[in-house]
Chains A and B, each alone.
Chain A
Amino acid sequence: MIKNVLIVDDDQEMLLSVKEGLEKYDESFSAVIAGDGDIAVEKLRQGPISLVVTDLKMPRMNGFSLLAHIMEHYPDIPVIIITAYSTPEMEKQALLGGAVGYIEKPFMIEDLARKIASTLRKESEGGTLHGISSGTFLQLIEMEQKTCTIRVVDRESEKKGVLFFMDGELLDARVNGLSGVEAAYDIFSWDEVNLSIQNTCQQKENRIDGDLQAILLEAMRRKDESKGVPEDEDETRTVELLDPLDVSESTDEPWSEESVERIRKKLNQALDQRSGVDDVYRDRSWEELIRQVEVVGNLFNAGPFRVGYVDRRSGADLILLPGSDAPTVISVNPRGPKDRILQILVDREISV
């Protein structure tokens, strides 16, 4: 999708020459122009704008006021400042105000284009996903405790929204003039979305302050309500989402009580009671898989095999630790924080 870059300057001649100069990059982005800050605010409202390039000195609303407006209402939109009256103090002020770049006039159009392109690339530096549900991508955020800005497009209505996450916590959301939790309800009600992830979050203030799962459930409830789904069906879904752990695994293989207890204790200590660890034991039946994995690791020059995670379709998932004795197997709840457990094991916080 071609991204729109809003160029704001009261110098009409300059504005038109920048627009013309950027035309050769129209496969990457398209320039939209505004003659002052007020017009820019209106263009932003009409959206979608991916980036703003603004002059500082303008009548009515100047560049600093526009920057403040964008940081307040569209914190996901990066701003590049251009100015003919540059001082180190102004530059410092602009960057402190949230601008991502500062270019002095006169400038080469190629330099501006390069700056725009590199800034836009960051919109999706964390990857893109297509055709997934809101619930699915929330797993991603929670699992990785990500700090990021996620731009979401509803495939059905083509509505666009933005979510701001700090360490896996939802700070704010924006869609169609809505912000905070109301915007989050709207976005989470979308069935199938495309999204791009930026690995930074300009939003610092928490405007939502609520549990992500609870917000998701409320979004579903509202959606069902708007579709006229009876409330008892909604309750069924709640129960389904909050289903208790269902893990069971046992083995008759001998195992060392001491080391497996140490693993269990360390994981429970590191993850409180949320580790999802059901059982820790030794099991020789995994030796062949581990041997094969080590062979494949050699092919890839991957170094020694440290730890493996196995999902067997039904029942508990297993974490496998190679060892001089029989492999150690940790049986875990599939919904548990498996990446965190793996990280703990890889970081050798526990020695087997």
Chain B
Amino acid sequence: MEPNFDDILDLEDVRGIAVLSKDGQILFQKFSTAANTVKLETKNWSAFLQALEGIREADFIFESSRLYVRDSTGGYLLVLMGQFAPIAMVRLNCDILLPTLKQAHATKGLARFFKRKR
């Protein structure tokens, strides 16, 4: 079963989702047209993930956006949103999605769910 990111991406003002492995590799990313200039590959994510060590869930609010981060066995889930996104809905949808990611990690690896980046 492929993880269902669409329920989250369809929420109002959600601009994108990314899944990073524990060592900072980008396993999945999908951004809305408005946010498609974001280039995750240009950043080394290891320092950020190291700073998140021991944190299960984080919500970072900026002047014009909001970044929600969830730790899971399979990696880190990042949800980029605007200020009007229903954050509680995003959280609950992540609660539902995360067991799928964990299951993927436990079986054949998370990467099998995602298309290879060209």
Given A289-B52, A308-B59, A339-B87, A297 contacting B95 (CB threshold 8 A): no
Contact A312 B80 (CB under 8 A): no
Contact B93 A346 (CB under 8 A): no
Interface check A227, CB cutoff 8 A = no
Q: Which residues of A contact B67 (CB under 8 A)?
A: 293, 296-297, 300, 302
A224–B40 Cα distance when bound, in Å, is 50
- From residue B70, how far is it (CB to closest CB) to chain A in Å? 9
Contact B42 A128 (CB under 8 A): no
Contact code string A297-320 (vs B, CB < 8 Å = 1, else 0): 101111111111111110000000
Contact A143 B88 (CB under 8 A): yes
Contact B61 A310 (CB under 8 A): no
Contact B58 A300 (CB under 8 A): no
- From residue A169, how far is it (CB to closest CB) to chain B in Å? 16
Q: Which residues of A contact B58 (CB under 8 A)?
A: 308-311
Interface window among A11-19, A35-43, A134-142, A235-243: A134-142
A149–B88 Cα distance when bound, in Å, is 16
Contact A140 B89 (CB under 8 A): yes
Given A288-B51, A289-B52, A342-B59, A126 contacting B64 (CB threshold 8 A): no
- From residue A345, how far is it (CB to closest CB) to chain B in Å? 8
- From residue B37, how far is it (CB to closest CB) to chain A in Å? 8
**7 closest Cβ pairs, A-B complex:** A303-B63, A302-B62, A302-B65, A311-B57, A309-B59, A292-B51, A289-B51
Using CB atoms, name the residue of chain A closest to B99. A131
B residues with CB within 8 A of A: 4, 7, 10-12, 35, 37-40, 42-43, 47-48, 51-52, 54-67, 80, 86-89, 92-93, 95-96
Which parts of A245-293 form the interface with B (CB within 8 Å)?
Answer: 288-289, 291-293
CB < 8 Å neighbour of B43 from A130, A296, A304, A346: A296
Q: Which residues of B contact A132 (CB under 8 A)?
A: 92, 95-96
Interface check A90, CB cutoff 8 A = no
Contact B7 A305 (CB under 8 A): no
Contact A137 B59 (CB under 8 A): no
A291–B53 Cα distance when bound, in Å, is 14
Which parts of A103-144 form the interface with B (CB within 8 Å)?
Answer: 125-132, 136-137, 139-140, 143-144
Using CB atoms, name the residue of chain A closest to B82. A302
Using CB atoms, name the residue of chain B closest to A339. B87
A129–B6 Cα distance when bound, in Å, is 11
Most chain A CB within 10 A, of B60, B65, B96, is at: B60
A303–B83 Cα distance when bound, in Å, is 12
Using CB atoms, name the residue of chain B closest to A346. B61
- From residue A120, how far is it (CB to closest CB) to chain B in Å? 15
Contact A305 B92 (CB under 8 A): no
Q: Which residues of B contact A308 (CB under 8 A)?
A: 58-61
Contact A292 B48 (CB under 8 A): yes
- From residue B93, how far is it (CB to closest CB) to chain A in Å? 7
Interface check A350, CB cutoff 8 A = no
- From residue A82, how far is it (CB to closest CB) to chain B in Å? 31
Using CB atoms, name the residue of chain A closest to B71. A313
Q: Which residues of A contact B92 (CB under 8 A)?
A: 129, 132, 136-137, 139-140
Contact B62 A130 (CB under 8 A): no
Q: Which residues of B contact A229 (CB under 8 A)?
A: none
Given A299-B43, A302-B65, A339 contacting B88 (CB threshold 8 A): yes
Interface check A100, CB cutoff 8 A = no
